[in-house]
Chain A
Amino acid sequence: MEIQQYNFIFLYQETAALTKRLFIQLKRRPSTFFAGILQPIIWLFLFGALFANAPKDFLPGVDSYGNFLGAGLIVFTAFSGALNSGLPLMFDREFGFLNRLLVAPLTSRLSIVLSSFFYITILSFVQSLAIMFISFLLGYGFPNFLGLGIVFATLILLVLFVTSISLCLAFVLPGHIELIALIFVVNLPLLFASTALAPISFMPSWLGWIASFNPLTFAIEPIRIAYSSNFNLDLVALNAPYGDLTCRNCISLLFLLTILSLVIIRPLLNKKLT
């Protein structure tokens, strides 16, 4: 059998195959995809109604709670999707399918990580666009072209950060039950301990400190700013207890966290995938 000679082409071929498999699974079992859109929309309606009469002074830079909530729900959708990205890998581990990948002469085992990342990123983009579109229909506005770029750039960083942690957990934890349990424990508390549902000024001091170090906050605030008509990267996005952070600061912090997480998990992935 004549085997092609170019490593880059090989990497593309194997990553495309792995990603395609994930999309075939999604196409044939789309319930989690639709649930991922439906849940934040239900939240948008319910939370929007619940806090419809909240004093507007508490919500910096927006004129309604629905406007405020949109960014939080976009980030929550991407975060939940990325947090769950380890599950297919865990099932592959448990059912032995991972061995099929490990005995194959993959150019780089990175393709296994890359495919999960591409899949979750595309999924998050589509789900986020659906949420943004429905928010728009509800009168909560839509970011301009540059703002849209910031939304997607922020989502890419968040997805990469959380996906790398989730894939790492998929190798470290003994089985899918433990992974699901951990996702349950982490998912909502991280959302509530961020600025997704309320601004820091609304929180008790201790929660404000936690929220101002929460990576979700670093993703939510730039997206919230991206919705404003006078958007620019140097606008103050977060009034943290330790000082003001601009949109640029938030994205840079998210970028650093992503790099840090990739550096930390790399030895583990190397060990497990060699």
Chain B
Amino acid sequence: MNQIQIQNLSKDYLDVKALKKININITEGSLFGILGPNGAGKTTLLRTLATLISPDEGTIKINNIDVIKEPRKIRELIGYVAQEIALDKILTGRELLDFQADLYHIDQSNKLKRIELLINQLDMQNWIDRKCGTYSGGMKRRIDLAAGLLHLPKVLILDEPTVGLDIESRNIIWGLLNDLKKDGMTIILSSHYLDEIDKLADNVVIINDGKIIDQGNPTQLKNKFGGDRIILKVREFSDSLESEKVRKILEKIDGISQIVINASQGYSLNFIADRDKDLISKLKVELAFSKFKIFSLSQSQPSLDDVYLQATGKTLQDAELYMTGKRDLKKESKQSMR
């Protein structure tokens, strides 16, 4: 059953189209991943779901309640853990949780039980009574997650919860998310970590530049390629002319498909090769015939990155680097301020 229905959702920030006609359905009790580089629109989508932003167009329903028309009812249903960890440095972790519990109107006896439970679940016993200003990144993320879970929300919205975390904190959070999913909580998780989404998500949507590139089950998305991912370089630093020539050779080989030239990685050629044919040998022969040498060739199972690469011509990592240079974080921060 679809617990969350997002239809034709659009949002502009002055000159930037952050979301363009987004349509997503999320099943109850599933972990839904949102994958995309920085600046793709993930945070805007999640902030809209969390009632912090009003969309310009479209509708969102959670449990058949309209997010835009009845935000207060939605706030009772959701827990939101933002990308930027906003803690009060003066409060201790326990005081922060106590404060949060009061904002969610949890009664006194349940409050103490929930706080103790979450302290244990997220392994925070040793530092919970220290001021938040003394916490490391991992501690801050764990206390923030605990605050989002205090009222046992039906839907947990997590915006890049493991960015910059140490392995211990990351594993604790992953473990908790799996437990919550088993308990029937719907979790929406945005990330630009492929492995995180691949490992945790039941379904995933891949977003780029405010648009949906693809969505579905991660395994299905990867299997759509029907073969292995090959990355070929004929020189360490090739050029567009040379790689176009190689592309033409590859196009003639039966069993090779979805050829993409990745300019940001030395004009490497990325393509899918059928598994049941000895294509690599054939490829070597054809290239040699046209007087091309192989500088490097790697063969792997397709990943979600390939889905992204196929649609955009860039890997997620390249897109990250590109967007990091392009974004005006100060301006975005001002825009996100209420």
Contact = CB atoms under 8 A, between A and B. Distances in A.
Interface residues of B, number: 37
Given A2-B110, A104-B75, A105-B75, A96 B84 contact: yes
A273 to B, nearest CB: 8
A99 B110 contact: no
A25 interface: yes
B51 A99 contact: no
B82 A104 contact: no
B78 interface: yes
- By secondary structure, the A interface counts as helix
Contacts of A28: 90, 131
A16 B95 contact: no
Given A95-B86, A100-B100, A100-B103, 8 more contacts: A1-B152, A3-B76, A99-B338, A103-B80, A104-B100, A104-B103, A104-B104, A106-B103
Interface string A70-108: 000000000000000000000001111111111111110
A98 B51 contact: no
B88 A1 contact: no
Nearest to B87: A97
A217 B334 CA distance: 38
Interface of B: 50-52, 71-73, 75-76, 78, 80, 82, 84, 86-88, 90-91, 95, 98-100, 102-107, 110, 114, 131, 147, 151-152, 334, 336-338
A102 B53 CA distance: 11
A74 B114 CA distance: 45
B111 to A, nearest CB: 10
Interface in A163-178: 171, 174
Interface in A9-56: 9-10, 13-14, 16-17, 20-21, 24-25, 28-29
A272 interface: yes
A270 interface: no
A230 interface: no
B332 to A, nearest CB: 12
Contacts of A29: 90
B145 to A, nearest CB: 13
B338 A102 contact: yes
Contacts of A274: 71
